A and B are shown apart, each in its own frame.
Chain A
Amino acid sequence: MKNLFFDYYMQIDYSIVVSKCNYTIKCIPESNERQTIDSLQMELFPETKYSYGRDGLGNRQIYGSNDLDHTTFHYHITGHAITGLHVFEEAEDDSKTMIFRHPHGLNTPGEKIKAYFHLIRQEIRPEEDAYMNSLILMNRLFCDFSYKQFVTNTETSAEEAFALGKGVCQDYAHIFISLLHLAGIPARYVVGLIMGEGASHAWVEILHNGYWYGLDPTNNVPVTSDHIKIGVGRDAKDCMINRGIMHGGGLHTQKIVVNVKEMEQ
């Protein structure tokens, strides 16, 4: 169990004035069996009234619009999280989990991933359960794929990243989901935060015996008390932290600063 402070800051600077914009932000961690969230604070600039809602997968979001001239847009979300309460979360009804048994979007396997799965499938042990087999697959992927920034982007599919042999957490998660589906294990994409400074993080949850277990393929570990979960989806596109459209703006520069640290006792 850990007592964490988290801080997510996103800023976009425009080269030309924006006269009107719409935004949806899905960066609101919620309490669940693994974590308790409190003291949540949100600040938005330009400051406007926003609405709360949930997306089709149940992730919390805020959305709104403004028609104030601005050349910078930012939001800042901070809060406390008590993490590591449990290693799993109880799964919802089957109607909510069956969605995660099927390939979709960026996690759809292509020929290369299928061939790879064929190659490693004998490592899966039929006598073992989904959790153990997921660990086996994760370990194998960790050995065969390497971490490298700036070779992939947010639109890169599992198949494309796999062909490159390297990528970032998003790519690890997509490929892992792809392999898990091929192995018949329901799996979903998780976006969240991890201890330290940097950006948001992505991992995977697998369904086993009615519970979702978090596995972090980038670090080849089960999710720990260093992980704060934000939202889930079939792939990264379902979990986009923010989305917006604007009139004007010209060139954009985006800056994201994330900090998660242990609270002083």
Chain B
Amino acid sequence: MKHLELLEHTDTINELLARYGVKFGIYKNNVFKEQLFPFDAIPRIIEKEEFAYLEKGLKQRVVALNLFLKDIYSKKQIVKDGVVPEDFIFASSGYMVECEGVTPVKDVYSHISGIDLVKGKNDVWYILEDNLRVPSGASYPMIARGLCRRSSPDTFEDLKIEDNRNYADLLRRTMDHVNVGGHTVILTPGRYNAAYFEHSYLAEQTGAHLVNGSELVVKDDKLYFITADGKYERVGAVYRRISDEYLDPMNFNPESLIGIPHIYDVFKKGNVALLNAPGNGVADDKGIYYFVPKMIRYYLGEEPILNNAPTYLPFYEEDMTYVLEHFDDLVLKDVAEAGGYGVVFGNTMTKKQKEDFIALLKSEPRRFIAQEVIDFQDIDILEGGERIPRKADLRAFVLMADEPLVWKSGLTRFSRNPDSFIVNSSQGGGFKDTWVLSH
């Protein structure tokens, strides 16, 4: 096969990625460390029909999640109708009272959603989690594809793969859809952020200005960009890569130095679009995940196309009984944690750990979910010239523009540790390109 030639270029591509600054910054024990995000040239390949199925299911899911957010911050009909218990809304750290009664431009809450999926050994795809706040990762397969094509043009000559370098166009279309008039900017916390490469790359690719908080200012209920020569130019849309908490020190965390005072007040008046809207954390909470299939039925009157991993909520008595009886077969997740932290497998605990955990579970049942361990498919990676199987997931990107759009690619992350199911880049994993076949 011709495309094997690409594999010979793995090192070159990784060197180029390093030169472009495709790095991951992480804080560990208060020390900032930049590490490379290792690229593996063996792609994940998804057949055309299979992706069409995923696309349909992903759109359905993200449309329902957006309706849920609108409902939660206004009428709360889904709570009144008893589909989602109140506790899961108001005890969630993602629920923000500041967002009550606020309507984002065109009712879009999650403009850019990163949905994590895995394919089980039974060939069934499962949703692992929804990321509706500031999901990152699209830039990595984008730039990798470009570098692969350059290093090994022959590989791509007669392969019918969807071009994934159009992500910038999709993103631009999404930003333009909600722009209320003026510039579109990408707001970054700065170069010490884990995803700074992505911020600058997406700005370059979409033609948006890359700005930090000190370059934006609120004046007379409008948001302005301060140009290099001190002029104020109106901003109509902000793709912000800063978490809700740090976005506006006058409305959220007062300690934030990277935010823009009063930007949220201006957003509330409809004078600027924020992508994504603040408050989305209430919908991508691990506890709320359990309810997403119910949301799809509730808001759309449709059966969910994509499956959740079988999940139990110890909050419900019968689920608690099940969890205690099948403890060793389950993975337990702390709903407040992210990035692969707070995840424990029942069968890896010692007797003492298990007893302590169960005591905690009983005292704070709302804090945990339990899931069946999905034995997901391995994908080969290259290590020292050998192909070895490793666990991998897929982050698919769904954009809400004038219609829901699914990017025909995605970030495939793999675990470098042979025994690990945790693929998060903050835990040292690598990434692959995702090829969606076009015929």
A238 close to chain B: CB less than 8 A? yes
A104 close to chain B: CB less than 8 A? yes
Q: How far is the CA of A189 from the CA of B87 in the complex (A)?
A: 20
Q: How far is the CA of A22 from the CA of B251 in the complex (A)?
A: 11
Residues of chain B contacted by A102 (CB below 8 angstroms): 86-87, 90-91
A63 close to chain B: CB less than 8 A? yes
Contact A95 B74 (CB under 8 A): yes
B221 close to chain A: CB less than 8 A? yes
Kindly provide the distance from the CB of A123 to the nearest chain B CB, expressed in whole angstroms. Answer: 26
Give 19 A-B pairs besides A24-B262, A57-B97, A98-B86 with Cβ atoms closer than 8 angstroms. Answer: A22-B250, A22-B262, A24-B250, A51-B221, A51-B265, A53-B265, A56-B96, A56-B99, A56-B102, A63-B250, A65-B219, A95-B74, A96-B100, A98-B79, A99-B100, A102-B86, A102-B91, A234-B97, A245-B250
Residues of chain B contacted by A54 (CB below 8 angstroms): 101
Known: A22-B262, A98-B86, A102-B86. A56 touches B100 (CB 8 A): yes
B249 close to chain A: CB less than 8 A? yes
A94 close to chain B: CB less than 8 A? yes
Q: How far is the CA of A62 from the CA of B6 in the complex (A)?
A: 61
B254 close to chain A: CB less than 8 A? yes
A98 in complex: contacting residue of B90, B91, B96, CB < 8 Å: B90
Q: How far is the CA of A233 from the CA of B101 in the complex (A)?
A: 15
Q: 11 interchain pairs (CB within 8 A)?
A: A24-B262, A51-B221, A51-B265, A57-B100, A95-B76, A95-B80, A98-B79, A233-B97, A234-B97, A243-B250, A245-B261
Contact B76 A98 (CB under 8 A): yes
Q: How far is the CA of A57 from the CA of B87 in the complex (A)?
A: 19
Q: How far is the CA of A71 from the CA of B91 in the complex (A)?
A: 42
Residues of chain B contacted by A22 (CB below 8 angstroms): 249-250, 261-262
Number of residues on chain A facing chain B (CB within 8 A):
27
Residues of chain A contacted by B91 (CB below 8 angstroms): 102-103
B269 close to chain A: CB less than 8 A? yes
Residues of chain A contacted by B218 (CB below 8 angstroms): 65
CB within 8 Å of A: which of B80-130?
80, 86-87, 90-91, 96-102
Contact B254 A245 (CB under 8 A): yes
A196 close to chain B: CB less than 8 A? no
A55 close to chain B: CB less than 8 A? yes
Contact A238 B97 (CB under 8 A): yes
B387 close to chain A: CB less than 8 A? no
**A contact residues vs B (CB 8 Å cutoff):** 22, 24, 49, 51, 53-58, 63, 65, 93-96, 98-99, 101-104, 233-234, 238, 243, 245
A94 in complex: contacting residue of B80, B250, B269, CB < 8 Å: B80
Contact B254 A63 (CB under 8 A): no
Contact B262 A55 (CB under 8 A): no
Kindly provide the distance from the CB of B103 to the nearest chain A CB, expressed in whole angstroms. Answer: 12
Residues of chain A contacted by B269 (CB below 8 angstroms): 53
Contact B261 A65 (CB under 8 A): yes
B220 close to chain A: CB less than 8 A? yes
Residues of chain A contacted by B262 (CB below 8 angstroms): 22, 24, 63, 65
Kindly provide the distance from the CB of A43 to the nearest chain B CB, expressed in whole angstroms. Answer: 20
**Interface of A, helix, strand, loop or mixed by DSSP:** mixed
Kindly provide the distance from the CB of B62 to the nearest chain A CB, expressed in whole angstroms. Answer: 24
Kindly provide the distance from the CB of A60 to the nearest chain B CB, expressed in whole angstroms. Answer: 13
Kindly provide the distance from the CB of A114 to the nearest chain B CB, expressed in whole angstroms. Answer: 12
Indicate the member of B79, B91, B265 with the most A CB atoms within 10 Å.
B265
Kindly provide the distance from the CB of A107 to the nearest chain B CB, expressed in whole angstroms. Answer: 12
Contact A49 B220 (CB under 8 A): yes
Residues of chain B contacted by A104 (CB below 8 angstroms): 90
Kindly provide the distance from the CB of A54 to the nearest chain B CB, expressed in whole angstroms. Answer: 8
Known: A51-B221, A65-B218, A99-B90. A243 touches B75 (CB 8 A): no
Kindly provide the distance from the CB of A234 to the nearest chain B CB, expressed in whole angstroms. Answer: 7
B294 close to chain A: CB less than 8 A? no
Q: How far is the CA of A233 from the CA of B268 in the complex (A)?
A: 19
Q: How far is the CA of A51 from the CA of B220 in the complex (A)?
A: 7
Q: How far is the CA of A51 from the CA of B254 in the complex (A)?
A: 20
Indicate the member of A53, A95, A103 with the most B CB atoms within 10 Å.
A95
Q: Which 6 A-B pairs have the closest CB atoms?
A: A56-B100, A102-B90, A22-B261, A95-B76, A56-B98, A56-B97
Q: In chain A, what residue has the closest Cβ to B75? A: A95
Known: A53-B269, A63-B265, A245-B261. A101 touches B86 (CB 8 A): yes
Per-residue CB contact flags for chain B residues 46-89 toward chain A (1 = under 8 Å, else 0) read 00000000000000000000000000001110011000001100
Residues of chain A contacted by B220 (CB below 8 angstroms): 49, 51
Q: In chain B, what residue has the closest Cβ to A96? A: B100
Residues of chain A contacted by B98 (CB below 8 angstroms): 55-56
CB within 8 Å of A: which of B267-289?
268-269
Residues of chain B contacted by A98 (CB below 8 angstroms): 76, 79, 86, 90
Residues of chain B contacted by A234 (CB below 8 angstroms): 97
Residues of chain A contacted by B80 (CB below 8 angstroms): 94-95
Q: In chain B, what residue has the closest Cβ to A24? A: B250
Known: A95-B75, A101-B86. A56 touches B101 (CB 8 A): yes
Q: How far is the CA of A63 from the CA of B90 in the complex (A)?
A: 27
Kindly provide the distance from the CB of A55 to the nearest chain B CB, expressed in whole angstroms. Answer: 7
Q: How far is the CA of A234 from the CA of B249 in the complex (A)?
A: 20
Residues of chain A contacted by B99 (CB below 8 angstroms): 56
Q: How far is the CA of A63 from the CA of B268 in the complex (A)?
A: 13
Contact A99 B250 (CB under 8 A): no
